[in-house]
């Protein structure tokens, strides 16, 4: 098992002996490999199973405050080797550009670093490039972003997930614009809404050349392997150790480039499952690699330790795509003169402030159509004040199917139905009679196609579109007499 620790004196002497290429003067005592064993009767010590941690936790949530990190003389060979490799092999990314001279140029670079680093949390680089380019074209400065609305920002962010990042970006931009100056140190950056230790370290070192570390998932992987750290990488004591080591390693003359080089190494050569150690510029300093050469039971990929994620909560929801029809029946069937009802989610919590189709959570034991429709009718009556039976002609109500959407901590099964109504009287007036008309709106089909919906709601809408197209196709293929008889019914 990976959780076994070796207590062999032989291993202690042969594998853990100081090597000229390692930083025995700077690194804490190297942790023994969790997979190591001996040829004789080994003394096995079983580690307690690590507690599951929420999969939604990110480096901003885990980073300790007040880690002291300044310029040191440690590891000059590693620094120079890593920076030479970075200069030759770094990827050409739109947010990597040289700042223009002066305060204005540095602040422009700081804003670019901020936006890119926030987008890159939990998201792959190829996906971020397009989002970043569109974002900067619309809001090229922190002042232009501060003038945006939350709805505009949400629409631009749609599809990236983890929407609290977008909310924090807007709130932080308003805070900076109000003060009139972009913070230039890690300590002052941490006072901005949504900026934690990692983002503060990135902005301060890259844009303002402050000698300060940063630690993200890639840096954790690199440091875990350099120092063979087998401890739980999510525990606060281990996280603090990562930050201390990163602070000792950061290059005092090129802190921003060094931090980017550490992240670049972890994102490319020092990957999770297939590290390319033969091409790594710091492989001669890597204690995990040295252990793997000495013991075939030890692998570089044993570091960092894999921590089991908390099992996601299972939720169930009834989702009703309410289509309100106006005009002739032929226009309704063709999708003309139709409006869709959207509800705005609460300003706090999951998907805060985003628009969705009417949805209500239901008990797993009551996901049958009858119970789901009872709950949905009650919800529509309460929020929108539309009585499905009394105030409308029900043209169609059918189940469309299920869609399972995975959040970081929730597995949500959505039972989707389509309801086509023809409201008696004025549609807008009927919708404005609810509890809070600012939390709902009617949009036509062309508008909903271009809206910035979440990926889950977009999937639901596409399911309904496919269902309607199939329905129309079936009706068009039905003999004329049968079709007219069915319409009369």
* Digit-coded pLDDT (tens) for 429-459: 555 555 555 688 889 888 887 787 888 999 9
**Pairing mode, strands 392-406 and 313-325:** unpaired
The residues facing 397 across adjacent strands are 419
Query: Quick one: pLDDT at residue 27?
Result: 37
Instruction: Give the least confident one: 37-41, 71-75, 252-256, 261-265.
Output: 37-41
Query: Residues 184-213: what's their mean pLDDT?
Result: 97
Query: Quick one: pLDDT at residue 434?
Result: 52
Residue 14 maps to a domain: no
Query: Residues 137-146: what's their mean pLDDT?
Result: 98
Q: 244 and 340 in one domain? A: no
Q: 117 and 257 in one domain? A: yes
The one catalytic residue in 117, 264, 375, 417 is 117
CA dist 250 and 45 (Å) reads 36
pLDDT at 249 over 50: yes
Element (H, E) at 257: helix 255-267
Residue 122 maps to a domain: yes
Query: Quick one: pLDDT at residue 143?
Result: 97
Residue 179 maps to a domain: yes
pLDDT band at 58 (very low <50, low <70, confident <90, very high): very low
**Rg of the chain taking only CA atoms, in angstroms:** 28
Query: Residues 100-126: what's their mean pLDDT?
Result: 94
Backbone angles phi, psi at 192, to 5 degrees: -85, 140
pLDDT at 322 over 90: yes
| Residue 304 preceded by cis peptide, ω within 30 | yes
pLDDT at 479 over 80: no
Query: Residues 102-130: what's their mean pLDDT?
Result: 95
Residue 8 maps to a domain: no
Q: Could you tell me the CATH number of the domain that includes residue 345?
A: 3.90.79.10
More confidently predicted of 20 and 114: 114
In sign, the C-alpha dihedral spanning 52, 62, 404, 354 is positive
In 384-479, which ranges are continuous DSSP H helix?
A: 427-431, 445-450, 455-477
Residues contacting 352, CB < 8 A, separation 6+: 163, 164, 167, 345, 346
Q: 263 and 136 in one domain? A: yes
Q: What digits encode the pLDDT tens for the residues 325-380?
A: 865 444 444 445 688 999 988 877 778 778 899 999 999 999 999 999 999 999 98
Instruction: Give the least confident one: 182-196, 202-216, 333-347.
Output: 333-347
Residue 46 maps to a domain: no
pLDDT at 136 over 90: yes
The 3-state DSSP class for residue 150 equals helix
Instruction: Give the least confident one: 225-234, 277-286, 401-410, 420-429.
Output: 420-429
Length of the chain: 489
Q: What digits encode the pLDDT tens for the residues 252-295?
A: 999 999 999 999 999 999 999 999 999 999 999 999 999 999 99
Q: 344 and 257 in one domain? A: no
Q: 189 and 105 in one domain? A: yes
Query: Quick one: pLDDT at residue 132?
Result: 98
Query: Quick one: pLDDT at residue 129?
Result: 97
More confidently predicted of 191 and 25: 191
**Catalytic residue flag (residue 117):** yes
Q: Using alpha carbons only, what angle is made at residue 15 by residues 13 and 20, rounded to the nearest 5 degrees? A: 100
% of the chain with per-residue pLDDT over 70: 75
Two tokens, residue 345: 């989610």
Query: Quick one: pLDDT at residue 305?
Result: 94
**Taking each helix axis from N to C terminus, what angle separates 197-208 and 255-267, rounded to the nearest 10 degrees?**
120
Q: 423 and 318 in one domain? A: yes
pLDDT at 225 over 90: yes
Query: Quick one: pLDDT at residue 384?
Result: 73
Q: 197 and 127 in one domain? A: yes
In sign, the C-alpha dihedral spanning 430, 432, 436, 440 is positive
Q: What digits encode the pLDDT tens for the residues 142-163?
A: 999 999 998 899 889 988 888 8
Total domains in the fold of the chain = 2
CA dist 424 and 61 (Å) reads 51
Backbone dihedral region for residue 356 (phi beyond 0: left; psi -120 to 50: alpha; all else: beta): beta
Residue 343 maps to a domain: yes
The 3-state DSSP class for residue 415 equals strand
Q: 250 and 349 in one domain? A: no
Q: 422 and 324 in one domain? A: yes
Q: Could you tell me the CATH number of the domain that includes residue 186?
A: 1.10.340.30
Residue 389 maps to a domain: yes
Query: Quick one: pLDDT at residue 188?
Result: 98
Two tokens, residue 217: 């998932």
Return mean pLDDT, the chain: 81
Instruction: Give the least confident one: 213-222, 317-326, 446-455.
Output: 446-455
Distances (CA, A) of 6 to 217, 286, 289, 303: 27, 20, 17, 16
Query: Residues 85-105: what's their mean pLDDT?
Result: 94
Q: 320 and 258 in one domain? A: no
More confidently predicted of 110 and 443: 110
pLDDT band at 237 (very low <50, low <70, confident <90, very high): very high
pLDDT band at 428 (very low <50, low <70, confident <90, very high): low
Q: 352 and 259 in one domain? A: no
Query: Quick one: pLDDT at residue 37?
Result: 38
DSSP label of 352: T
More confidently predicted of 476 and 246: 246
Query: Residues 231-257: what's their mean pLDDT?
Result: 96
Which residue in the block uniquely carries the two structure tokens 């770094």? 90
Q: Which domain covers residue 378, as residue numbers? A: 313-328+335-474
Residue 45 maps to a domain: no
Q: 364 and 244 in one domain? A: no
């Amino acid at each position: 098992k990976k959780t076994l620790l070796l207590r062999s004196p032989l291993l202690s002497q042969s594998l853990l002996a100081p090597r000229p290429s390692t930083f025995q003067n700077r690194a804490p005592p190297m942790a023994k490999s969790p997979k190591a064993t001996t040829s004789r009767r080994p003394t096995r010590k079983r580690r307690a199973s690590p507690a599951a941690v929420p999969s939604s936790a990110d480096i901003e949530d885990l980073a300790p405050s007040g880690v002291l990190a300044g310029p040191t003389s440690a590891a000059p060979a590693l620094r120079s080797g890593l920076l030479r490799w970075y200069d030759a092999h770094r990827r050409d990314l739109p947010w990597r550009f040289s700042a223009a001279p002066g305060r204005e140029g540095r602040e422009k670079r700081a804003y670019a670093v901020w936006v890119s680093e926030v987008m890159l949390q939990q998201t792959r680089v190829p996906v971020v490039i397009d989002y970043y380019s569109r974002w900067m074209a619309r809001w090229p400065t922190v002042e232009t972003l501060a003038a945006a609305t939350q709805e505009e920002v949400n629409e631009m962010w749609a599809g990236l997930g983890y929407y609290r990042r977008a909310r924090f970006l807007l709130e932080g931009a308003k805070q900076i614009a109000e003060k009139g100056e972009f913070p230039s140190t890690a300590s002052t950056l941490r006072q901005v809404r949504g900026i934690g230790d990692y983002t503060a370290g990135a902005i301060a070192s890259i844009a303002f050349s402050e000698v300060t570390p940063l630690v993200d998932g890639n840096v954790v992987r690199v440091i875990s392997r350099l120092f063979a750290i087998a401890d739980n990488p999510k525990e606060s004591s281990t996280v603090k150790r990562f930050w201390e080591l990163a602070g000792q390693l950061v290059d005092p003359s090129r802190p921003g480039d060094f931090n980017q080089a550490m992240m670049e190494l972890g994102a490319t050569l020092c990957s999770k499952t297939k590290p390319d150690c033969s091409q790594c510029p710091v492989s001669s300093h890597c204690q995990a690699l040295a252990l793997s050469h000495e013991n075939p039971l030890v692998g570089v990929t044993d570091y960092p330790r894999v921590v089991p994620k908390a099992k996601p909560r299972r939720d169930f929801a009834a989702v009703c795509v309410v289509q309100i029809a106006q005009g002739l029946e032929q226009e309704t069937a063709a999708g003309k003169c139709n409006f869709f009802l959207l509800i705005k989610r609460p300003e706090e919590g999951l998907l805060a402030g985003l628009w969705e189709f009417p949805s209500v959570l239901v008990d797993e034991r009551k996901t049958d159509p009858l119970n789901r429709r009872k709950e949905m009718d009650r919800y529509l009556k309460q929020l929108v004040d539309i009585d499905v039976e009394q105030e409308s002609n029900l043209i169609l109500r059918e189940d469309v199917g299920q869609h399972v959407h995975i959040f970081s901590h929730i597995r949500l099964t959505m039972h989707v139905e389509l309801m086509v109504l023809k409201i008696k009287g004025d549609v807008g007036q009927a919708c404005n009679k609810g509890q809070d008309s600012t939390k709902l709106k009617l949009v036509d089909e062309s508008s909903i196609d271009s809206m910035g919906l979440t990926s889950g709601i977009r999937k639901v809408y596409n399911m309904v579109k496919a269902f309607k197209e199939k329905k129309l196709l079936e009706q068009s293929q039905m003999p004329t007499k049968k079709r007219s008889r069915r319409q009369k019914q």
